[in-house]
Structure 1
């Protein structure tokens, strides 16, 4: 389990494709306790560390991950957000993030507002019911709050503070770029339990 508090932005150093999927070598500093088999979130996608060194690690993307996320299209030089799994005795600063990407959304707008930024996104039609104003949402592995939502235009916005902008890959994002979306899992559990009663 993750919290959506990104530790650092890593850089894709090498990409290799084969029939079974895709392998990425990622450079990231400050990850001092990596080990083989460890869960790690790469731009919000829960993956497994294969090999590692002082400032790098490799992960493998199965075919389903390649098809469902935009990691199937990343290239050397691209930035990705990195978060290690939350320790049982750690502080819970974000919200419950599983690293199970629901869908992708496209950035529709980026506006500077004082020291902050306002990012607008398309509202994924199949997951619109789980996106609510002031609710939690995970975008590219970042725990964020939905600042506003417009169901007529099919868009929603989040506010990005300077720290988030500088620590994550959002600094390099442009209008039209995709982001991974993980909606609040609690809302999905509630819907499942209520079933036909809602």
Structure 2
């Protein structure tokens, strides 16, 4: 589990293949060991090797189909965060590192105070996005400023966040990893279960007056 508060921006040193999987070697000063979980652009992966100033992780073919890590290359910069511990403040929101979908930046407006980033996303997740709700974009915890028709949503990114993450490098047309709020996902599932139970009960009563 993570917080969405990026600890460091790392750099991809090398990308290699192991069967259908991708092995990423990343330059970082973060203190991690083999077996530790680390969030890379919002995707929770396991450290397989480490050395002085670098770590290796491996992403399965299934993960690559869901997340945008497959497009990374040597020199790409990535958002990094180590797993949450009990001694670490929960400064953002609960981020599992389980990317739900890719989104696409559809508009970007820059001002001195902030960047307004508009992201188009799948209609399958439309009911998980609400104004002032939480969203993770490439592992960064952000607040939805507004949901608009598309479906799309807009986030406001302040200069401090831009400076500490790779969001500063994003451009219109770029794909980003999205993880929707876990609380919203539980509420949606519970609502569906309740609705299905009521429908089953009503059908039973209709057949057995």
Relative to the length of structure 1, the TM-score reads: 0.94
What 5-or-longer segments of structure 1 have no aligned partner?
none
Per mean C-alpha deviation after superposition, the further-off stretch among 167-176 and 187-196 is 187-196
Alignment match of 1:76 (pick from 74, 77, 82): 74
Cα distance, 1:14 vs structure 2: 0.2
- 2:152 — aligned with what? 155
- 1:96 — aligned with what? 94
Bigger Rg, which one: 2
**In structure 1, distance between residues paired with 2:186 and 2:59:** 27
**In structure 2, distance between residues paired with 1:58 and 1:69:** 18
What secondary structure sits across from 2:99 in the alignment? Answer: coil
**In structure 2, distance between residues paired with 1:176 and 1:58:** 29
**In structure 2, distance between residues paired with 1:162 and 1:75:** 26
- 1:131 — aligned with what? 129
What 5-or-longer segments of structure 2 have no aligned partner?
196-209
- Residues 51 and 99 (structure 1), Cα distance of their counterparts in 2 relative to 1, 3 Å cut: same
- 2:184 — aligned with what? 187
Higher helix share: 2
Q: Is residue 2:25 matched to residue 1:38? A: no
- 1:173 — aligned with what? 170
Question: For residues 107-161 of structure 1, what are the alpha-carbon distances to aligned partners after superposition, in whole Å with 9 as ceiling and x for unaligned?
Answer: 111111222111111032111110111000001000000011112x322110111
**In structure 2, distance between residues paired with 1:85 and 1:196:** 31
Relative to the length of structure 2, the TM-score reads: 0.89
Name the count of aligned residue pairs.
Answer: 195
CA RMSD of aligned residues (A): 1.2
Q: Is residue 2:137 matched to residue 1:111? A: no
What secondary structure sits across from 2:55 in the alignment? Answer: strand
- 1:14 — aligned with what? 14
